[in-house]
Chains A and B, each alone.
Chain A
Amino acid sequence: DAGITQSPRHKVTETGTPVTLRCHQTENHRYMYWYRQDPGHGLRLIHYSYGVKDTDKGEVSDGYSVSRSKTEDFLLTLESATSSQTSVYFCAISESREGIQYFGAGTRLSVL
């Protein structure tokens, strides 16, 4: 998976609890992305980062926040998880803004 590690790979949590997903890359790529994938919706961009401490919102950013304090790490936080955030979350990286995106293995999150 192109030097991308997502953790945890699986998580079950309860509604209202905070959850943080981590994406770690060893490729030194500038751009990092968080997507969610749901049946019937395909892959949708949540947030992305174009450098340390530089982030922007994607299509479905409500209820999510991100942080990037180091080039290699991009964190996705659900401040108060809801059942609608049950999904598979993928991290992706790319060298350039319109460059090829490479995906991590994904995190399957269930919010009960």
Chain B
Amino acid sequence: QKEVEQNSGPLSVPEGAIASLNCTYSDRGSQSFFWYRQYSGKSPELIMSIYSNGDKEDGRFTAQLNKASQYVSLLIRDSQPSDSATYLCAVWGGSQGNLIFGKGTKLSVKP
């Protein structure tokens, strides 16, 4: 079982819709979770960090964490074409005790 799994996509949503990105992880002891956005040819940039079960909102972004089910999700409300990017889920832990990245979900927001 891969340590951090994401659907590779592409996920295509119309402008103004809600985009839902999901991530599951295998290390039950993980305590720190991050979502990064990466535009093509650019470096990852942090969108959200979440450490406790429940929802965390920041503008149009909401991160949701469920440690019992070992998943973390990112909702993007009122999606814009500028949100088109690859979204990376990262979880602290794993077999080596480092930040483990999923392979990313490519999001395309159509005008």
Query: By the criterion CB–CB under 8 Å, are B101 and A58 in contact?
Result: no
A70 within 8 A of B: no
Asked if B17 is an interface residue, CB under 8 A from chain A, the answer is no
Contact A103 B32, beta carbon cutoff 8 Å: no
Partner of B96, one of A1, A42, A58, A104: A58
Q: Does A62 contact B (CB under 8 A)?
A: no
Residue of B nearest to A59 (CB): B96
Quick one: which of B70-110 are within 8 Å of A by CB? 88, 90, 92, 96, 98-99, 101-104
* A42–B43 touching, CB < 8 Å: no
| Residues of chain B whose beta carbon lies under 8 Å from any beta carbon of chain A | 31-32, 34, 42-46, 49, 88, 90, 92, 96, 98-99, 101-104
28 contacts between A and B (CB under 8 A): A1-B43, A41-B103, A42-B88, A42-B101, A42-B103, A42-B104, A43-B88, A43-B90, A43-B101, A45-B96, A45-B98, A48-B98, A58-B96, A58-B98, A59-B96, A59-B98, A90-B43, A98-B31, A98-B32, A98-B92, A100-B34, A100-B49, A101-B34, A101-B90, A101-B99, A103-B43, A104-B43, A105-B43
